């Protein structure tokens, strides 16, 4: 094989490597990167896929030549049926305009104001927890992050809307499974066909549209003389912002953007926190060091935004969790509209390009002992030594996750708040990966809670949660 020839994994004549790929997509991509290096070719159902696992090649795709490698139309259509035409799925100049409108809501000073809400909701969720309690911590983190994102970004208190919250959770889970099935299917059937999958898709989308639409309509109902008040959250910012021509965002686009940020804003963080408890349950030495830091910095008081710079080990735990189990385990497929080069490699027209943060994060040349849970590896010197796209839990380039700072702050504060008062032990023998749109523990994550300190009452800002 010549130096610039792309190694290929061969499979059956029709399906290619589909059976091997579907056994565990993240692990398949990890193994191709370990075996073949920067780029690997494989085929499934007549389509050619190139898995790129090199920081410089990834930089070409996401940054320096990103317009030459657009998102695959198929991916956009599948995700669009889930979350609409929002920041995740839109492209080109339209995406740039929408991101410009939303970006101010995620500036450091503004998201810093959300810290107390994150801590208060976490304390409220813990209010009924007790020593020895069995709990699906994955479901608990899902509900908690839903409450946090609804309140901080849209000023909606879903902790007092249990029926709606449960319906939204079920709808998102259904759409995750449907989207995953669509991604795996070699044939994309029209969504108007009266199939069981399409009926479930429509029902789930109607649930999400109804809930998000209610949030928007409630805000409009509070308008005075037709003017929506600027409450400082993302929703009011989107409703009040104007494009360069002076026009406002249309109702459907507003719904799509709010839905996108609502789903993405809690789905990824809830999975990161679930994997955090999974790893901590197996590493008592890490728990001991975490508790020593929390006790030394916080004592028995609640964490604040000002504490985060001192909670260095807590932050290192979150970084290491995002390395081992990045919720965005694979980025949207990129394509080549025309034949082109990628570094020294030649790609044909209509190639499909996979980039997997999960695979990148498990390469030993960047992360010694890649399977080991070692939060202490995240020193300033180590981070400076990493190539930019060796670690990318939030993607990269102009389309890097708009809420990455929000998510990291939230994860650190939730970990600190719960970690002060509870530890967990696994209540199951095996936890498997569930690689759908995001990477979650398959079937949830049952744990046993072990209490450390009394749980303080939530502040008056957060009412006691309604029983489910």
Query: DSSP string of 36-103?
Result: HTTEEEEEETTEEEEEE--HHHHHIIIIITGGGSPBPHHHHHHHHHHH-SSTTT--HHHHHHHHHHHG
pLDDT of residue 458: 61
pLDDT of residue 7: 95
Class of 8-451 in CATH: mainly alpha
**Range with the lowest mean pLDDT among 257-261, 344-348, 420-424?**
257-261
Quick one: average pLDDT of 297-309?
Answer: 95
**Range with the lowest mean pLDDT among 43-52, 92-101, 183-192, 332-341?**
183-192
**Range with the lowest mean pLDDT among 52-56, 158-162, 231-235, 328-332?**
158-162
Task: Give CA–CA dist 26/28, Å, rounded.
Answer: 5
Task: Give CA–CA dist 171/201, Å, rounded.
Answer: 9
Task: Give CA–CA dist 397/419, Å, rounded.
Answer: 34
pLDDT of residue 404: 92
User: Is the CB of residue 353 less than 8 Å from the CB of residue 334?
Assistant: yes
pLDDT of residue 141: 97
pLDDT of residue 178: 87
pLDDT of residue 467: 41
SS3 450: strand
pLDDT of residue 159: 75
How many Å is the Cα radius of gyration of the chain?
22
User: Which of 158-162, 182-186, 228-232, 318-322 tops mean pLDDT?
Assistant: 318-322
Q: Are strands 47-52 and 352-355 parallel, antiparallel or unpaired?
A: parallel
Answer whether residue 468 shows pLDDT above 60: no
pTM of the complete model: 0.92
Domain positions in the chain are 8-451
Answer whether residue 454 shows pLDDT above 70: no
Share of the chain above pLDDT 90, in %: 58
Share of the chain above pLDDT 70, in %: 96
Indicate the helix (H) or strand (E) that contains 315: helix 312-324
Strand arrangement, sheet containing 446-451? 134-136, 446-451, 422-426
Beta bridge partners of 346: 341
pLDDT of residue 111: 86
Quick one: average pLDDT of 147-171?
Answer: 84
User: Is the CB of residue 254 less than 8 Å from the CB of residue 235?
Assistant: no
């Amino acid at each position: 094989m010549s130096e610039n020839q792309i190694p290929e994994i061969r499979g059956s004549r029709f399906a290619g490597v589909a059976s091997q790929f579907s056994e565990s997509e993240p692990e398949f991509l990890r193994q191709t990167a370990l075996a073949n290096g920067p780029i690997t070719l494989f085929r499934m159902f007549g389509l050619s896929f190139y898995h790129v696992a090199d920081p410089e090649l990834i930089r070409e795709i996401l940054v320096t030549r990103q317009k030459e490698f657009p998102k695959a139309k198929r991916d956009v259509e599948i995700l669009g049926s889930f979350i609409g035409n929002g920041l995740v799925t839109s492209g080109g100049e339209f995406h740039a305009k929408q991101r410009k409108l939303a970006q101010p809501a995620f500036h450091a000073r503004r998201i810093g104001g959300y810290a107390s809400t994150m801590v208060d909701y976490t304390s409220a969720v813990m209010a009924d927890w007790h020593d020895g309690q069995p709990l699906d911590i994955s479901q608990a983190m899902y509900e908690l992050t839903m409450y946090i994102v609804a309140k901080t970004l849209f000023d909606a208190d879903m902790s007092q809307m249990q029926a709606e919250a449960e319906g939204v959770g079920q709808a998102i889970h259904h759409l995750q499974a449907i989207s995953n099935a669509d991604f795996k299917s070699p044939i994309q059937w029209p969504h108007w066909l009266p199939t069981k999958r399409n009926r479930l898709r429509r029902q789930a989308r109607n649930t999400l549209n109804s809930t998000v639409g209610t949030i928007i309509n409630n805000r409009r109902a509070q308008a005075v003389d037709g003017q929506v008040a600027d409450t400082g959250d993302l929703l009011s910012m989107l409703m009040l912002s104007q494009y360069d021509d002076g026009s406002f965002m249309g109702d459907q686009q507003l719904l799509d953007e709010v839905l996108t940020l609502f789903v993405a804003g809690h789905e990824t963080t809830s999975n990161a926190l679930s994997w955090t408890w999974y790893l901590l349950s197996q590493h008592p030495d890490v728990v001991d060091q975490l508790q020593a830091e929390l006790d030394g910095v916080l004592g028995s008081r609640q964490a604040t935004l000002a504490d985060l710079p001192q909670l260095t080990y807590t932050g290192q735990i979150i970084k290491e969790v995002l390395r081992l189990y990045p919720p965005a385990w694979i980025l949207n497929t990129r394509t080549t509209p025309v034949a082109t080069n990628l570094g020294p490699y030649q790609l044909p027209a209509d190639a499909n390009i996979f980039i997997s943060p999960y695979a990148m994060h498990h390469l030993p040349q960047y992360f010694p002992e890649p399977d080991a849970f070692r939060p202490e590896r995240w020193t300033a010197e180590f981070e400076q030594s990493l190539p930019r796209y060796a670690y990318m839990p939030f993607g990269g380039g102009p389309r890097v996750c708009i809420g990455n700072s929000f998510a990291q702050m939230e994860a650190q504060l939730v970990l600190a708040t719960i970690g002060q008062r509870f530890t967990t032990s696994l209540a199951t023998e095996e936890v498997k990966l569930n690689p759908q749109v995001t990477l979650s523990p398959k079937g949830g994550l049952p744990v046993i809670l072990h209490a450390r300190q009394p749980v303080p009452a939530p502040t008056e800002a957060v009412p006691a949660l309604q029983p489910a």
